[in-house]
């Protein structure tokens, strides 16, 4: 029997309640499959932990996490702890520390998922965002000079290394080639005259190795507009850290909402564990009410199953989610239903069992 060790960081707000449903689903899959088991280790890290201990995770937290096959994360951040502290000391620390430089975020309108766009066919929204996840605008390079003085200055420097840009772009070309899809690069070289000119050049350069991949290059502002007006032009998409962050929330909005969008933070070399999470935050406005949508965290489980080599199960989990959404009885208020968080998880488990 194969055993997968999963570190669970439920985190803040709705994090714990949505993860519980994902774990239910993963356990059901393991039971049905019969060839593997999952062992969970829960880490109590997050904002509450910070308020008690003055830190977001244990001193040797990264060493502890290193031993796992995967990390399953809920959400980080809550009023009372400054966001730049909570996120930099936990979520971003793991992404960077474990060199999870690829962030895979599907923007696919599943059957039954609500879509605010009119005149758009369901199959027209089927994109795979490959977001740079280790540097760029999120490098954390900068300074804060003359704080509080009249001549106060802050610097926030983007860092785009040749290695960093090349590896994410190459990864995206590989995916597009393997899946026989087009590849769109999203940048902003008209205004960002160093970083994005460099990005575009590398996109061209690496592209020479992939003559079979049809490519497009968009400015980020136009890309945002086309995602709404003509989403079918995007298949595989590669973009920088910040643009990817913003555009995938837009993607979530057109493909079922924040309660459905998932992301995998991947270290392709598998030197470190990869991390699976819904892309939404801790949703303080609805935390504790039991009405958060767990489908995003269940989709993350589908991504984890793919990563573990159980793609057939990954697909079955998505199909089970679709059945639940099409039926429409067991969906949460953000999707127009009245179900509680746990009822959605139960419904997915029940469909899987049939
Ligand atoms: P958010 O994603 O938490 O919430 C935005 C809106 O979407 C809210 O109205 C919320 O109720 C709704 N929403 C989100 N997830 C939902 C779900 N599963 N079901 C139903 N509705 C859902 O974003 P925010 O309000 O900008 O941020 C709140 C906190 O979360 C901040 O501290 C922020 O820094 C943090 N954050 C963390 C992560 C992460 O841990 N990965 C991601 C984004 C934001
Ligand atoms: C996301 C989140 C994070 C990001 C924040 C919380 C640092 O918004 O995963 O999309 O910007 O990457
Ligand atoms: Mn985001």
Which residue matches tokens 């019969």?
34
The model's confidence at residue 260, banded by pLDDT at 50, 70 and 90, is: very high
- What ranges do the domains of the chain cover? 1-105+258-354, 115-255
Structure tokens at 284: 């303080």
Q: Are residues 12 and 78 in contact, defined by beta-carbon separation less than 8 angstroms?
A: yes
Atom of ligand 1 nearest to the CA of 11: 40
Digit-coded pLDDT (tens) for 60-71: 999 999 999 999
Q: Are residues 68 and 267 in contact, defined by beta-carbon separation less than 8 angstroms?
A: no
The CATH homologous superfamily to which domain 115-255 belongs is Isopropylmalate Dehydrogenase (3.40.718.10)
User: Could you give the C-alpha distances from 97 to 135, 156, 229, 313, in angstroms and in order?
Assistant: 12, 20, 38, 29
What CA–CA distance (Å, rounded) separates 26 from 28? 5
Mutate which of 87, 92, 105, 138 for ligand 2 pocket (most atoms within 8 A of beta carbon):
87
User: Angle at Cα 295 formed by Cα 293 and Cα 300, nearest 5°?
Assistant: 130
92 alpha carbon – ligand 2 mean position (Å): 8
pLDDT for 104 equals: 98
Ligand nearest to the CA of 283: 1
pLDDT for 136 equals: 98
Same fold, 1-105+258-354 and 115-255: yes
77 alpha carbon – ligand 1 mean position (Å): 9
299 alpha carbon – ligand 3 mean position (Å): 16
User: Could you give the C-alpha distances from 127 to 44, 79, 192, 224, 314, in angstroms and in order?
Assistant: 34, 33, 25, 13, 17
What CA–CA distance (Å, rounded) separates 75 from 18? 9
pLDDT for 113 equals: 98
pLDDT for 316 equals: 98
Structure tokens at 275: 């991390």
Report the chain's terminal Cα–Cα distance, integer Å: 24
Q: What percentage of the chain exceeds 70 in pLDDT?
A: 100
Digit-coded pLDDT (tens) for 148-170: 999 999 999 999 999 999 999 99
Residue nearest to atom 4 of ligand 1 (CA): 283
Digit-coded pLDDT (tens) for 261-298: 999 999 999 999 999 999 999 999 999 999 999 999 99
58-86 in b/e form (b: 16+ CB < 10 A) is eeebeeebeebbbbbbbbbbbeebeeeeb
What CA–CA distance (Å, rounded) separates 39 from 46? 21
Digit-coded pLDDT (tens) for 190-217: 999 999 999 999 999 999 999 999 999 9
Structure tokens at 115: 């879509």
Beta carbons within 8 Å of 216's beta carbon, 6+ residues apart: 182, 183, 184, 185, 233
This prediction's pTM: 0.98
* Mean of per-residue pLDDT scores for the chain: 98
**CB-count exposure of residue 342 (10 Å: 0-12, 13-18, 19+):** middle
The model's confidence at residue 184, banded by pLDDT at 50, 70 and 90, is: very high
Q: What percentage of the chain exceeds 90 in pLDDT?
A: 100
Beta carbons within 8 Å of 121's beta carbon, 6+ residues apart: 232
Q: Are residues 236 and 210 in contact, defined by beta-carbon separation less than 8 angstroms?
A: no
The model's confidence at residue 315, banded by pLDDT at 50, 70 and 90, is: very high
Digit-coded pLDDT (tens) for 100-110: 999 999 999 99
What CA–CA distance (Å, rounded) separates 160 from 185? 15
Fold of 1-105+258-354: Isopropylmalate Dehydrogenase (3.40.718)
110 in contact with ligand 2, CB cutoff 6 A? no
300 in contact with ligand 1, CB cutoff 6 A? no
Beta carbons within 8 Å of 65's beta carbon, 6+ residues apart: 7, 43, 71, 94, 98, 273
75 in contact with ligand 2, CB cutoff 6 A? no
pLDDT for 125 equals: 98
Q: Are residues 256 and 122 in contact, defined by beta-carbon separation less than 8 angstroms?
A: no
46 in contact with ligand 1, CB cutoff 6 A? no
190 alpha carbon – ligand 3 mean position (Å): 24
């Amino acid at each position: 029997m194969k055993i997968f060790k999963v570190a669970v960081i439920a985190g803040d707000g709705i994090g714990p309640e949505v993860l519980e449903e994902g774990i239910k689903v993963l356990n059901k899959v393991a039971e049905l499959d019969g060839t593997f088991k999952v062992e969970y280790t829960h880490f109590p890290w997050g904002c509450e932990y910070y308020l008690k201990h003055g830190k977001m995770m244990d001193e040797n937290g990264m060493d502890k996490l290193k031993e796992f096959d995967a990390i399953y994360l809920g959400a980080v951040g809550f009023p009372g702890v400054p966001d730049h502290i909570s996120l930099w000391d936990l979520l971003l620390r793991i992404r960077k520390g474990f060199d999870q430089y690829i962030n895979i975020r599907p923007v696919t309108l599943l059957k039954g998922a609500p879509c605010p766009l009119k005149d758009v066919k369901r199959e027209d929204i089927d994109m795979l965002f490959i977001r740079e996840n280790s540097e760029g605008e999120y490098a954390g390079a900068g300074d804060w000079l003359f704080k509080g003085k009249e001549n106060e200055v802050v610097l926030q420097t983007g860092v785009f290394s040749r290695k960093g840009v090349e590896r994410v772009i190459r990864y995206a070309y590989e995916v597009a080639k393997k899946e026989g899809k087009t590849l769109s690069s999203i940048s902003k070289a008209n205004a960002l005259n160093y970083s994005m000119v460099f990005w575009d050049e590398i996109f061209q350069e690496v592209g020479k190795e992939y003559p079979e991949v049809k490519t497009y290059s968009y400015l980020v502002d136009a890309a945002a507009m086309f995602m709404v007006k003509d989403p079918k032009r995007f298949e595989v998409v590669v973009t920088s850290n910040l643009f990817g962050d913003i555009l995938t929330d837009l993607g979530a909005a057109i493909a079922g909402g924040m309660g459905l969008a998932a992301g995998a933070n991947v270290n392709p070399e598998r030197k470190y564990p990869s991390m699976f999470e819904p892309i939404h935050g801790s949703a303080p406005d609805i935390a504790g009410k039991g009405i958060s949508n767990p489908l995003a965290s269940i989709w993350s489980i589908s991504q984890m199953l793919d990563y573990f080599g159980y793609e057939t199960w990954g697909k079955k989990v998505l199909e089970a989610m679709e059945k639940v959404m099409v039926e429409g009885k067991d969906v949460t208020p953000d999707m127009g239903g009245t179900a509680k968080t746990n009822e959605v998880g139960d419904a997915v488990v029940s469909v899987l069992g049939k």
